[in-house]
Every structure is written in structure tokens, then in C-alpha cells.
């Protein structure tokens, strides 16, 4: 897997990729991101394994989106070292579709060269949106727009898929369907996923591993020892949910 090292790396910070990085989708060492002199991310270390579905929880304002933006390469004003696959894609809570481009053109937006329409069609079929290929974004429902945004991420064939509250604005039923879709896509694609959410049940439902961010670092890190598919009523589900709520300071 080709990796992208980005910084700028602070004087004295590590610069070489560790040998074990081959099986890691992400390796972050000593990452700090400050705004106005305040470190929102504070010497954070994190390794994400290739193919693993990781969910990132944390109180509002703790720095989850900031971390995701750094991993996406959208924010490089950092100290420390970040190793990520070159093939990575991000989808946000707002689908961010360009209203003056048809859906399929939105899916191909930003890809290098002149990618063929077929690439967009394949990705749209994967998210069940082939019938909206030529639609204008404003004619899509919220769930459809979010699926178009997912197709735009998938067409990049990512080794790392970064999802920032992608279901946050969806109604309950559409949200369940979107969660199931992401779970299926992940199983089919085998890419590493890092999903930011506020929903503890969603974390337990989808994740191999759950992280809780606090104080600018990963404060809690657990594997999810439950078989798939999971249901809220499964033995073990409630126990893990309560543990995570306690970590979040809710219980
Ligand atoms: N561009 C920026 N300029 C100044 N401060 C920022 C900027 N981006 C983020 N912050 C601050 O950094 C902190 C973390 O923001 P971030 O969006 O990463 O939190 P979050 O955990 O994703 O929050 P939420 O769960 O509410 O979305 C906040 O205090 C926010 O105000």
C-alpha cells in the first residue's frame, strides 16, 4: 500500500516510516494541531490497521473532525508525523455536491485525468443509485445525496475511507439503511474505515474497534468482541454501550 507522509514535521519529530507500517492503514505519531495557541490535538499517537472498521467517539469539540481532516490531508498545519495511504477518501455529514453538476459528474469530481462516466456508474450502482446517475443534486433526497457522496468516495478506490458523521442528518429509517450500506461496502471493499459519530449504538453496531478521544488524545481504545450481524438486544451490546457512555462521561 503506497503511503503518504505529511507534516510539516516539527524539528526533532520522527520522520521515518516504522517497519511495521506495512500492515497499518494509518500511523500517527506525536500529532499536535493547535488553533490560536490551544492544542486541540495534543501529541496524539494512533495506529489503524488495514481493513479494520474503527469508530471515533468523543464529546463535542474534542477534536474528532480536526483529526479526520488531518488524516484526509485537508489540514497540514500540524506537528508530528502522519502516515496514511495515498488512496484515501472522505465523506462528510453534508454531502457537499456541486449543484451545477449532474450526479455522475459530482462522483468524478477531483479525480485526475478524464475519468469515464462508467466509473461513476459503477460506484453509483454500488450504493443503489444507478437510477439517479443523470439527476441534478437538488432533486435528490437527503439519503440519496449522502449515497452520492459515498459513491464519490468509493470511486477513488480508497484503502482508507474517512467518514465524518455521514448519517448525522438522516432520519432514523434512512440512517439504518445507510449504516447497513456502509457495513456492506466495507465488507466488500476490505478498506480501513474511520467513522466519526456521536451515536454510541452506531459505534457498537458497526465497529471492530472503538476509540474515545479526550484531552487531545485517544483516551480509550477497545476492540468490539461481538459477532456480526449485531443487534441492540444482543448479549454484550448493552455492556459495551454502557462502558462507552461512561468513558464519554454520560453515565
Ligand atoms: N479552523 C478552526 N479555527 C479555530 N478553531 C477551530 C478550527 N477548527 C476547529 N477548531 C476548534 O477545535 C476544536 C475541535 O473542533 P472539532 O470540529 O475537531 O471537534 P469535534 O470533536 O469534531 O466536535 P463535534 O463533535 O461537535 O463535531 C473546537 O473547539 C473548535 O472550535
* 4-34 tens-digit pLDDT: 766 543 332 323 344 344 578 999 999 999 9
| Whole-structure pTM value | 0.91
Spatial contact of 237 and 210, defined as CB atoms under 8 Å apart: no
| DSSP state at residue 57 | E
**Residue 135 φ then ψ, to 5°:** -70, 160
Residue 248 CA, ligand 1 centroid: distance in Å: 17
What is the best residue among 31, 34, 57, 66 to mutate for testing ligand 1's pocket, by most ligand atoms within 8 Å of CB?
Answer: 66
What is the best residue among 64, 164, 203 to mutate for testing ligand 1's pocket, by most ligand atoms within 8 Å of CB?
Answer: 64
Q: What is the ipTM of this complex?
A: 0.98
* Pocket (CB within 6 angstroms of ligand 1): 35, 40, 58, 60-66
Q: Is residue 155 part of a domain?
A: yes
Domain count, the chain: 1
Domain containing residue 214: CATH number: 3.40.50.300
Strands 88-91 and 217-223: unpaired
Q: What is the pLDDT of residues 84-99, one digit of tens each?
A: 999 999 999 888 999 9
Spatial contact of 143 and 168, defined as CB atoms under 8 Å apart: no
Q: Is residue 37 part of a domain?
A: no
Q: Is residue 29 part of a domain?
A: no
Q: Is residue 18 part of a domain?
A: no
Range of the domain at 180: 51-73+87-247
Q: Is residue 15 part of a domain?
A: no
- Residue 251: pLDDT band (50, 70, 90) is confident
Q: Is residue 5 part of a domain?
A: no
Q: Is residue 20 part of a domain?
A: no
Q: Is residue 10 part of a domain?
A: no
Amino acid at each position: 500500500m503506497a503511503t503518504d507522509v505529511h507534516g510539516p514535521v516539527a524539528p526533532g519529530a520522527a520522520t521515518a516510516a516504522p517497519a511495521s507500517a506495512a500492515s497499518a492503514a494509518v500511523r500517527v505519531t506525536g500529532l499536535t494541531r493547535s488553533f490560536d495557541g490551544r492544542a486541540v490535538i495534543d501529541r496524539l499517537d494512533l495506529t489503524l490497521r488495514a481493513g479494520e472498521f474503527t469508530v471515533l467517539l468523543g464529546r463535542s469539540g474534542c477534536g474528532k473532525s480536526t483529526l479526520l481532516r488531518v488524516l484526509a490531508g485537508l489540514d497540514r498545519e500540524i506537528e508530528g508525523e502522519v502516515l496514511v495511504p495515498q488512496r484515501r477518501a472522505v465523506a462528510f455529514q453534508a454531502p457537499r455536491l456541486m449543484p451545477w453538476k449532474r450526479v455522475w459528474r459530482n462522483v468524478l469530481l477531483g479525480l485526475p485525468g478524464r475519468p469515464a462516466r462508467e466509473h461513476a456508474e459503477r460506484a453509483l450502482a454500488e450504493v443503489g443509485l444507478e437510477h439517479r446517475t443523470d439527476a441534478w443534486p437538488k432533486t435528490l433526497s437527503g439519503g440519496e445525496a449522502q449515497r452520492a457522496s459515498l459513491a464519490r468516495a468509493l470511486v477513488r478506490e480508497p484503502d482508507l475511507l474517512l467518514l465524518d458523521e455521514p448519517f448525522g442528518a438522516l432520519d432514523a429509517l434512512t440512517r439504518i439503511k445507510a449504516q447497513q450500506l456502509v457495513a456492506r461496502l466495507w465488507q466488500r471493499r476490505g478498506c480501513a474505515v474511520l467513522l466519526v459519530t456521536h451515536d454510541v449504538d452506531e459505534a457498537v453496531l458497526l465497529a471492530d474497534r472503538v476509540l474515545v478521544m479526550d484531552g487531545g488524545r485517544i483516551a480509550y481504545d477497545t476492540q468490539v468482541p461481538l459477532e456480526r450481524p449485531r443487534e441492540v438486544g444482543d448479549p454484550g451490546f448493552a455492556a459495551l454501550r454502557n462502558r462507552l457512555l461512561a468513558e464519554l462521561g454520560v453515565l
